[in-house]
């Protein structure tokens, strides 16, 4: 009889019903073990404690014993899983059926790239600011950030433009 369940007993119960910290729904309930299986002693202790039931394996599975979790064993195995992590906004985005970038999904206005007529210069433009045409994207980004800094506080989507 088990006086105190050890981690190895809990892991056997969890393995029997097929649960893990990432997959918390049981999808099967059996553990086939032969007479010389390394966990046979622990499995028999779980049967004696009432957390598992044992029966001879079907002929198609060969010799051995099939162990199944009882409802108490399944409940114990699931209750001992670590608490799931809080879902992040990025997890919500990954599970949402959307066709937009993460920044757009968050409501962030991503500046557009605008090229000059000769395609040798580029600038970044949004409703908040417009950068200067530059030879490299890195310079265009710096110009856009400088324009954002100048316009900071003058425009908000809820208030519109503020003229001083």
What digits encode the pLDDT tens for the residues 9-19? Answer: 999 999 999 99
Tell me which residue has tokens 């198609």: 60
pLDDT of residue 163: 47
CA distances for 164 relative to 35, 40, 149, 154, angstroms: 87, 81, 16, 9
pLDDT of residue 159: 52
Q: Which two tokens stand for residue 81?
A: 């899983």
Q: E strands along 39-150, which residues?
A: 52-56, 65-69, 112-115, 122-125
pLDDT at 156 over 60: no
CA distances for 77 relative to 13, 48, 68, 143, angstroms: 6, 17, 12, 58
Domains of the chain: 7-79 (1.10.10), 106-153 (no CATH)
Give residues with Cβ within 8 angstroms of 51, minimum separation 6. 9, 13, 69, 70, 72, 73, 76
Q: In this predicted model, which residue has the larger pLDDT, 141 or 5?
A: 141
In the DSSP assignment, the letter for residue 61 is G
Q: Which of 1, 12, 95 is nearest to 50 (CA)?
A: 1
Q: What length is written for the chain?
A: 164
What digits encode the pLDDT tens for the residues 49-91? Answer: 999 999 999 989 888 999 999 999 999 999 999 998 888 988 8
Predicted structure pTM score: 0.58
């Amino acid at each position: 009889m088990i006086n105190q369940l050890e981690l190895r007993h809990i892991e056997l119960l969890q393995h029997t019903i097929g649960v893990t910290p990432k997959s918390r729904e049981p999808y099967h309930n059996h553990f086939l073990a032969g007479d010389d299986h390394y966990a046979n002693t622990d499995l028999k202790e779980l049967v004696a404690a009432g957390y598992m039931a044992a029966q001879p394996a079907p002929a198609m599975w060969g010799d051995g014993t099939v162990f199944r979790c009882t409802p108490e064993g399944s409940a114990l195995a699931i209750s001992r899983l670590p608490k799931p992590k809080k879902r992040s906004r990025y997890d919500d985005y990954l599970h949402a059926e959307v066709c937009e970038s993460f920044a757009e999904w968050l409501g962030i206005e991503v500046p557009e790239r605008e090229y000059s007529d000769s395609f040798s210069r580029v600038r970044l433009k949004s409703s908040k600011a417009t950068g200067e045409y530059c030879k490299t994207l890195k310079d265009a980004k710096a110009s856009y950030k400088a324009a954002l800094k100048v316009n900071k506080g003058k425009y908000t989507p809820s208030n519109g433009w503020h003229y001083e």
